Structure 1
Amino acid sequence: MVRRLALVTGASAGIGAAFARIYASHGYDVALTARRAERLEALAGEIRLRFGVEALVIPADLADPDAPRVVMEDLAAHGRVVDALVNNAGYGLPGSYADSEWAAQREMLQVMLVAPSELAHRVSPGMIQRRFGRIVNVASLAGLAPGSAGHTQYAAVKSYLVKLSQSLHLENLSTGVHVTALCPGFTYSEFHDVNGTRTQISQSTPDWLWLGADEVAAAGYEAAEANRPVCVTGVPNKAIAALAKVLPDDWGLALMASQGARFRKV
């Protein structure tokens, strides 16, 4: 019997690795892609031993426009199709927009907007034909809140993923394909270590706002199974998302400006 396959991007650590383990625990084979091959190999070995499923390793840098095509061709060469897609790869670029290099901003768009859109587009026809599919786009609470100074494209991209997921959800109501935007808040992972903001974030954010990567991924898996178009993780984050819906824009922007100033003083 051929098991279903879950493709997870950004699978080398954090939420991506947690998603790989969760899908494997539910009997899926997994295909793991990220830049760090050695991390992927270690995770694949753990998953094979722990869950008794197949784990394919496909090192790829989604900043390369050809990467989504290459990943899908690699899976096709293994005779596999994607039954669940977790678009998790992402990162933040601290600092102001004007002070950054456009090449870095363009790469961010490629990794976090173009690549997940292309992967969803590539896997959707087969999912619809087989009348089964799961697509989880890892967005963020930032995509539901007003924009902030710094990390300029991050919230914008995450907002795009929310809207994309909602539209795909509506398009697939009768196809057996479930689409969910997962919107976590602060999550224990390598995210803030990679962009160099760990110290500031840790000092300025209370412990009760944080969730573990396993908790976030579990909530995302359950939301996709239930076919919920948007999943906000954690009670505090749900309250923040609800407030963002009703808060006047100028109040929301003033609040974000105040929070940004407090963060920069840390």
Structure 2
Amino acid sequence: MTIQPSRSSASTARGTALVTGATSGLGAEFAHQLASGGYNIVLVARDLARLEAVAADLRSRYGVTAEVLKADLTNVDERAIVEQRLHSADAPISYLVNNAGYGLAQEFESNSIDDEERMLEILATVPLRLSHAVLGGMLSRGSGTVLTVASIAAGAPLGLYSAAKTWPLSFSRWANAQYRHRGLTFTAVAPGFVRTEFHARLGIERADMAPKWMWLDASFVVRSALRSAARGRAVSVPSVRYKLIWALMKVTQPLIMVFVARASRAASANGS
């Protein structure tokens, strides 16, 4: 479904950006900031009513074209529709934001393997496939941006979520080096705690997760990420506080892993 703009047109836009997980949180903020910067938008998410509401708001505020694609990206057939849209030569995508994702509230051993596998798919396989789908067209045009949401959690051993979020960091570093000389940039944004619906969906109170000083506004995170992408940076870590935490985590990660391993062995010994 496409919502036509009330003013301006695709011919005067900077290009078209496709944003996944676009109905709330960082995804909605990416859509708004890209639209305010002159991009037409393709919104991808599972909730059609919310998609249409966001699209109508973008049209009203910024006069851009807002196209809606309802899709569960872990569903092969529905994901194929999004991949086909990314392949389009008639209405090319010049900016891809891989934002869709979620976490699981329980520990690894308490979750079903199917739930863990679906989370891994949405955090790693989906951005892999969508990035590959848009790549050919971007290369033929000699320009394009792929921005993928990672996490500061990728720097710490915190289960499958953390492990999966290392993928966009590694991939973006490689892809940015591989394709930047051909006009394409790849950026992974690694925010810390952000004020969105993410933790509420897990049934976790913000106060239980981290102190107030560690929480960032979605608008700031997105501005920082878009600025980093415009400068061709492979990784964006928003805010000085998280840059310091990121640096500290790199130094202390081996010690943390030793501590986790020892604690695990001790727990096993006490339980046997």
Q: TM-score, normalised by structure 1?
A: 0.89
Corresponding residue to 2:240 among 235, 239, 244: 235
Q: How many correspondences in the alignment?
A: 252
How many angstroms does 1:61 deviate by? 0.6
Structure 2 residue matching 1:173: 3-state secondary structure: helix
Q: 1:68 aligned to 2:75?
A: no
Whether the 8 Å contact between 1:13 and 1:190 is mirrored in structure 2 is: yes
Residue 57 and residue 246 in structure 1: after superposition, are their counterparts in 2 closer, same or farther (change >3 A)?
same
Q: Structure 2: 5+ residue runs without aligned partners?
A: 1-10, 264-272
Which amino acid is the alignment partner of residue 242 of structure 1?
A
1:92 maps to what in 2?
A: 103
Residue 256 and residue 203 in structure 1: after superposition, are their counterparts in 2 closer, same or farther (change >3 A)?
farther
Structure 2 residue matching 1:86: 3-state secondary structure: strand
Residue 120 and residue 239 in structure 1: after superposition, are their counterparts in 2 closer, same or farther (change >3 A)?
same
Q: 1:218 aligned to 2:223?
A: yes
Q: 1:157 aligned to 2:190?
A: no
Structure 2 residue matching 1:227: 3-state secondary structure: coil
Residue 246 and residue 205 in structure 1: after superposition, are their counterparts in 2 closer, same or farther (change >3 A)?
same
Whether the 8 Å contact between 2:86 and 2:130 is mirrored in structure 1 is: no
Alpha-carbon distance in 1 for matches of 2:97, 2:241: 24
Whether the 8 Å contact between 1:29 and 1:53 is mirrored in structure 2 is: yes
Which amino acid is the alignment partner of residue 147 of structure 1?
P
Alpha-carbon distance in 1 for matches of 2:261, 2:172: 25
How many angstroms does 1:256 deviate by? 11
Corresponding residue to 1:44 among 36, 39, 55: 55
How many angstroms does 1:79 deviate by? 3.7
1:250 maps to what in 2?
A: 255
Residue 110 and residue 66 in structure 1: after superposition, are their counterparts in 2 closer, same or farther (change >3 A)?
farther
Residue 121 and residue 248 in structure 1: after superposition, are their counterparts in 2 closer, same or farther (change >3 A)?
closer
Identity over aligned residues, as a percent? Answer: 35
Counterparts of 1:1-266 in structure 2 under 5 Å? 1=11, 3=13, 4-74=15-85, 79-143=90-154, 145-148=155-158, 152-197=159-204, 199=205, 201-247=206-252, 249-251=254-256, 254=259
Higher relative contact order (CA 8 A, sep 6+): 1
Residue 257 and residue 233 in structure 1: after superposition, are their counterparts in 2 closer, same or farther (change >3 A)?
farther
Alpha-carbon distance in 2 for matches of 1:192, 1:80: 36
Structure 1 residue matching 2:233: 3-state secondary structure: coil
Residue 247 and residue 7 in structure 1: after superposition, are their counterparts in 2 closer, same or farther (change >3 A)?
same
Residue 248 and residue 153 in structure 1: after superposition, are their counterparts in 2 closer, same or farther (change >3 A)?
closer
Structure 1 runs, 4 residues or longer, greater than 3 Å off? 74-79, 251-258
Larger radius of gyration: 2
How many angstroms does 1:74 deviate by? 4.6
How many angstroms does 1:75 deviate by? 6.2
How many angstroms does 1:110 deviate by? 1.7
How many angstroms does 1:251 deviate by? 3.9
Structure 2 residue matching 1:98: 3-state secondary structure: helix
Q: TM-score, normalised by structure 2?
A: 0.87
Structure 2 residue matching 1:239: 3-state secondary structure: helix
